[in-house]
Amino acid sequence: MTEPRQGTAKQDEDAPPVQTFLRYTHRGAPGLADTVFEVADLSVYYGDYEAVRDVTMAIGRRQITAMIGPSGCGKSTVLRCFNRMNDLIPGARVSGKITYHGEDLYAPEVDAIEVRRRIGMVFQKPNPFPKSIYDNIAYGPRVNGVRKGLDDIVEEALRQAALWDEVKDKLKESGLSLSGGQQQRLCIARTIAIKPEVILMDEPCSALDPIATAKIEDLMHGLAQDFTIIIVTHNMQQAARVSDRTAFFTADVDDQGVRHGRLVEYDLTGQIFTTPSDKRTEDYITGRFG
Amino acid sequence: MTVTQLVRRPRGSSSDGRGLLARGLGRYVPYATAAVVLALVALLFAGTDLNGMPSFVAIAGLGYVLAQTVLSVVIEGRRRAVDRLVTALVYAAFMAAALPLLLICWYTIQRGIAMVDLTFLTHSMFRVNPQEHGGGIYHAIVGTLIQVALASVLAAPLGILTAIYLVEYGMGRRFARVVNLFVDVMTGVPSIVVGLFIFTAWILVLGFNKSGLAGALALAIVMLPLVIRSAEQMLRLVPDDLREAAYALGAPKWRTITSVVLPTALGGVVTGVMLAVARIAGETAPLLLLVGINQRIEFNPFAGQEAQRPQESLPTLIFEQFGVAAGNTDAPPFQRAWSAALVLIILIGLLSLMARLVARFARTAR
């Protein structure tokens, strides 16, 4: 099993836990000194259906946090709470609390659009706009009122997404003319261009071949220098390779036979994959589950 | 060559050395069958008092399908015979559907082409005796173009905005369902009823006169549901992925619609509007009620009947000239009606062609 990236994890272990609300020591984030998000007792509902129940976790700054678990366990649902994308689904609501640097994300006075400008998102299927490569990258800055220096922003974002050398001569061509892996890096560059603090990735490699996946994983290591990354993935090896911390979700079936997603265990990635404290986690990572 | 192919071999025998090759009618048998059937039907027509092109085509076609099916059952087996029969039926259905269109074009060109020349296209009927040759339909062309343009300017933005409401904001709301119902009802309202409505509301109640504008208002109402439905379809085709991508970049809803959804759907929306324009360009019933008659060129769609100068239009001109001809198919007004019809068809064809070009251009621009 790959070791988590050196540096951040090591120094965090010595730091005292400062988040007092982390009651569940095995689920919280031991030794996490510098947090971006704190999630407390988060439940997500679609209409009357409680899709995810009582999630409590903290996300570390400039770390890569992976969320793994079987299909339907609510990991994508939780991810979409971090930038309030669930607002767009009619009937979706949350209870509990998510704070972003101490600010309640779901407070009535919070503007979801402002939230999304700080917390970017990359989707499962590459979804470039049917516009030129340049316009794809420039879209975010333009929407956010940037008029000058767009050329530099585009170049910098493409360089950070390791795509510049491949597309620098065809910036005017359609984003849809690129290959799947390139499209996904274009989408990452598009997200980087608005200079968010956090990048949410919802199974960013599930539609890509292994070579394109490896490129994106390399890219994520580099991006973690500047960004906080939360990634949802079905691929346990990927979580082990890229993440500092891993949250394992699963779905419980209640008395009425309704499935609810739950956070089972949240810890340093090395811990989760070598000495998980929960039987269900162990079963899942060793392949004895579903 | 037909002799060897007509020999029936025992089913499933591989001893004939053909292996997986199917026993078929071969390339020439269908043609030979057709020739034989044609000859037989010709003999039949010569021998009996059957006559006329339509019945010849019908009997020959039926005979050919029958002969082919029988041959095929005998030589190729049931499965291939059914295939041939259904293929023949599909072709026949296609020809039956295309025939009226071809006949319309053929008759219109045949009867209309003689009178269409530069004078016809650039002169009005002012001080021309409609019973004699001369004059032209310039005034009607001008009127149709202006009225259709006016109707489009009214209906296109309204229709596109309604479609945007239905797709982007409605989402199962009660008001959206009501709008949907109204659009369905509007689609079904006959255009003559729309004409009566404008006549009552615009001319009787509000007291305006018959004019090109009154006609354009009715055309706009006819056009509106067409634009709404086609634009709605196109907007729904825009993948939600793209909307989500824009929202995730911090784009507000209006910005997402104007900068991502509309540009993506633009080609289809424009095509829909153009096809709706083509559809109303030939609309006649409401114009008969609302526009009135004028032999002179009138560029002003607001000019009313009180000054004896409402705008003429192509459909109403065709109707008038047909009436003037009073059933005399050799009279100049009758020919004039056909020529005006030809011009109208060409005009609508050009609009449809433009719609295709716009769609193609918008697709390659992506």
B190: containing domain: 118-365
Q: How far is CA A2 from CA A69, A215, B47, B238, in A?
A: 19, 17, 95, 42
**pLDDT > 90 in chain A, percent:** 48
Q: How far is CA B188 from CA A229, B157, B174, B184, in A?
A: 55, 21, 22, 7
Q: Are B280 and B151 in contact (CB under 8 A)?
A: yes
- CATH number of the domain enclosing A116: 3.40.50.300
Quickly tell me which residue has 């119902």 as its tokens. Answer: B181
Q: How many domains does chain B have?
A: 2
Boundary residue ending a domain (B112, B144, B175)? B112
Q: What angle do CA A199, A202, A206 make, to 5 degrees?
A: 130
| pLDDT tens per residue across span A82-136 | 999 988 888 899 999 999 998 899 998 999 999 999 999 999 999 999 999 999 9
Domain identity same for B135 and B241: yes
pLDDT at B10: 52
Domain identity same for B221 and B95: no
Tell me if A141 is assigned to some domain.
no
Q: In the beta sheet, which residues pair with residue A39? A: A57, A98
pLDDT at A64: 93
pLDDT at A19: 40
Domain identity same for B122 and B104: no
Tell me if A211 is assigned to some domain.
yes
- In this structure, are strands A49-60 and A35-46 parallel, antiparallel, or unpaired? antiparallel
pLDDT at A2: 44
Cα Rg, chain A, nearest whole Å: 19
CA B228 to chain centre: 18
From the CA of A158, how many Å to the nearest CA of chain B?
16
A176 contacts in chain B (CB < 8 Å): 366
- In this structure, are strands A92-100 and A35-46 parallel, antiparallel, or unpaired? antiparallel
Tokens of B176: 């959206």
In the predicted model, is pLDDT for residue A22 greater than 60? no
Q: Are A67 and A231 in contact (CB under 8 A)?
A: yes
| CA pair distance A124, B241, nearest whole angstrom | 10
From the CA of B232, how many Å to the nearest CA of chain A?
19
* CB contact set of B34 (below 8 Å; sequence gap of 6+): B64
Domain identity same for B107 and B124: no
Burial class for B328, CB neighbours closer than 10 Å (0-12, 13-18, 19+): exposed
Reference B341, options B284, B274, B285; nearest CA is B284
Domain identity same for B147 and B206: yes
Sign, CA torsion A229/A232/A238/A244: positive
Q: Are A64 and A89 in contact (CB under 8 A)?
A: no
pLDDT at B9: 54
Domain identity same for B194 and B268: yes
* Pairwise CB contact (< 8 Å): B250 & A144: yes
| pLDDT tens per residue across span A176-233 | 999 988 999 999 999 999 999 999 999 999 888 888 889 889 889 889 988 999 999 9
Reference B264, options A127, A192, A202; nearest CA is A127
pLDDT at B294: 81
* Pairwise CB contact (< 8 Å): A176 & B249: no
Provide the greatest CA pair distance for chain A.
Answer: 60
| CA pair distance B213, B269, nearest whole angstrom | 25
Q: Are A261 and A53 in contact (CB under 8 A)?
A: yes
pLDDT at B172: 78
Domain identity same for B34 and B81: yes
* Pairwise CB contact (< 8 Å): A194 & B249: yes
Q: Are B259 and A139 in contact (CB under 8 A)?
A: yes
pLDDT at B173: 86
B254 contacts in chain A (CB < 8 Å): none
In the predicted model, is pLDDT for residue A3 greater than 60? no
From the CA of B224, how many Å to the nearest CA of chain A?
28
Calculate the average pLDDT of chain A.
85
pLDDT at A72: 83
Boundary residue ending a domain (B82, B112, B142)? B112
Quickly tell me which residue has 């600010």 as its tokens. Answer: A103
Write out the H or E segment, with its range, that includes residue A97. Answer: strand A92-100
Q: Where are the alpha helices (DSSP H) in chain B?
A: 2-6, 29-47, 53-76, 78-112, 118-122, 138-164, 174-188, 191-198, 212-237, 240-248, 253-256, 262-281, 285-290, 314-325, 332-365
| CA pair distance A86, A98, nearest whole angstrom | 13
- CATH number of the domain enclosing B347: 1.10.3720.10
Q: How many domains does chain A have?
A: 1
Chain B: residue nearest A137 by CA? Answer: B249
* Pairwise CB contact (< 8 Å): A116 & B248: yes
pLDDT at B364: 52
Reference B259, options B273, B245, B272, B270; nearest CA is B245
* Pairwise CB contact (< 8 Å): B264 & A129: yes
Structure-model confidence comparison of residues A277 and B5, the more confident one: A277
A208: containing domain: 17-125+198-285
Sign, CA torsion B294/B298/B301/B304: negative
Q: What amino acid occupies position B150?
A: L
Confidence band (pLDDT; 50, 70, 90) for A277? confident
Q: Are A49 and A260 in contact (CB under 8 A)?
A: no
Tokens of B89: 């039926």
Boundary residue ending a domain (B59, B84, B112)? B112
Domain identity same for B198 and B91: no
pLDDT by position in tens, chain B (length 366): 445 555 555 554 444 555 566 667 777 888 888 888 888 888 888 888 877 888 888 888 888 888 888 888 888 888 888 988 999 899 999 998 999 999 999 999 998 888 888 888 888 888 788 888 888 889 899 999 999 999 999 999 999 999 999 999 988 789 999 999 999 999 999 999 999 999 999 988 998 888 889 999 999 999 999 999 999 999 999 999 999 999 999 999 999 999 999 999 988 899 899 989 988 998 888 998 888 778 888 888 887 766 667 888 899 899 988 888 887 888 888 989 999 999 999 999 998 888 888 877 765 544
